[in-house]
Amino acid sequence: MPQATPIATPSIQGLPALPRAFFCRALLRISFLDDKRGGTADLNKAIGLDPRNAVSRYNLGKLKDLLGDTKGAISDLSRAIIINPGFIQAYHMRGNVKIKLGDYQGAIVDLSRVIAMDPQSANGWGALGLAKYKLGDKYGGCEDTRRSAFLGSPYAQKLSPEFCK
């Protein structure tokens, strides 16, 4: 059986510094090798080579959130949004991170943008419902969670009865 080539081989060394190569290697390191430190380094290298790449910023923000650096995550997700104001996933992720931080009002702003861009986003409605519920808007939380459940979110289907008591 042939041996798998390690991802951190010289495969991109000696080539022109291509941001896409570092981006792809970062995703492989994170997804398949659980090498978050190496993935972070590669994403930072990709961003250094192409600072206007919103997707690299978004993925770095997601990774920072995964590593517990929520403020760093917010910063990178905000930069992704500045680069691409229509980047719905960045708004959604930033809204989720804001919920973790207890910034429910900020989360509502971001998640409302998600819904404005994609009214059929089950996960967007569910996260918006959670933020409203945590802020004390029980009725709004219930309605948004119900909509998320209706759109097919199994998570919202579990939460809806609790939120709508």
For 44-80, what is each residue's pLDDT tens digit?
888 888 899 999 999 999 999 999 999 999 999 999 9
Residue with tokens 């009002």: 105
Torsion over CA: 108, 110, 114, 115 (sign) = positive
pLDDT value for 16: 54
Is there a shared CATH topology between the 16-85 domain and the 88-165 domain? yes
pLDDT value for 4: 43
State the chain's mean pLDDT as an integer. 88
Q: Among 3.60.15.10, 3.40.50.620, 1.25.40.10, 2.60.40.10, name the CATH number for the domain at 88-165.
A: 1.25.40.10
pLDDT at 159: 85
Residue with tokens 């010289």: 10
- Residue 2's pLDDT is what? 42
- Domain regions of the chain by residue span: 16-85, 88-165
Per CATH, the homologous superfamily of domain 16-85 is Tetratricopeptide repeat domain (1.25.40.10)
Residue 1: its pLDDT value, please?
40
- Report the pLDDT value the prediction gives residue 147, as an integer from 0 to 100: 97
List, in order, residues 6 or more apart from 101 with CB less than 8 Å away: 70, 71, 74
- Mean pLDDT along residues 87-116: 98
The dihedral region occupied by 152, where left means phi > 0, alpha psi between -120 and 50, and beta the remainder, is left
How confident is the model at residue 32, as a pLDDT? Answer: 78
